């Protein structure tokens, strides 16, 4: 695992998500309403759709394809049609940058 630079803190609005591609992999990086940062796999566990097109509400991310929901802070699957949890990764703010540990 290694810390990887993602973007400036201000590049993600509060209560929002962006897509972050690194090598062959894709991630979703979140900023909560409180300003904390989080990271998960970028693709929904239901049908491999990019979660970055979805809606962040409180601690949940809603997938843009079938409205399945995850807790993006724990990865838990909250609403069908998602059944399988999402993998999460440590994320932190370093200076004015967001980094994730992948």
Binding site for ligand FES (CB under 6 A): 44, 46-47, 49, 63, 65-66, 68, 81-82
Give the residue with the Cβ less far from another protein, 33 or 101.
33
In contact, 25 and 46? CB cutoff 8 Å:
no
Give the residue with the Cβ less far from another protein, 71 or 102.
71
Give the residue with the Cβ less far from ligand FES, 11 or 79.
79
**Beta bridge mates, 43:** 50
In contact, 73 and 94? CB cutoff 8 Å:
no
Give the residue with the Cβ less far from another protein, 4 or 79.
79
Report the helix count and the strand count for the chain, using DSSP H and E: 0, 11
Q: Which does 44 bind (CB under 5 to 8 A by kind): ligand FES, another protein, none?
A: ligand FES
The DSSP output letter for 50 is B
Least distance from C-beta 8 to ligand FES, angstroms? 28
- The candidate with the shortest Cα–Cα distance to 19, out of 30, 9, 5, 8, is 30
Q: Of these, 43, 45, 54, 88, which contacts another protein (CB under 8 A)?
A: 54
């Amino acid at each position: 695992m290694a810390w990887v630079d993602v973007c400036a803190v201000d590049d993600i609005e509060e209560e929002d998500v962006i897509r972050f591609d690194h090598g062959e992999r894709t991630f979703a990086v979140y900023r909560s309403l409180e300003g904390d940062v989080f990271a998960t796999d970028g693709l929904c566990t239901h049908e491999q759709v990019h979660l970055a097109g979805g809606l962040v509400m409180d601690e949940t991310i809603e997938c843009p394809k079938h409205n399945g929901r995850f807790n993006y802070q724990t990865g838990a699957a909250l609403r069908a049609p998602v059944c399988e949890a999402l993998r999460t990764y440590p994320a932190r703010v370093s200076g004015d940058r967001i980094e994730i540990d992948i």
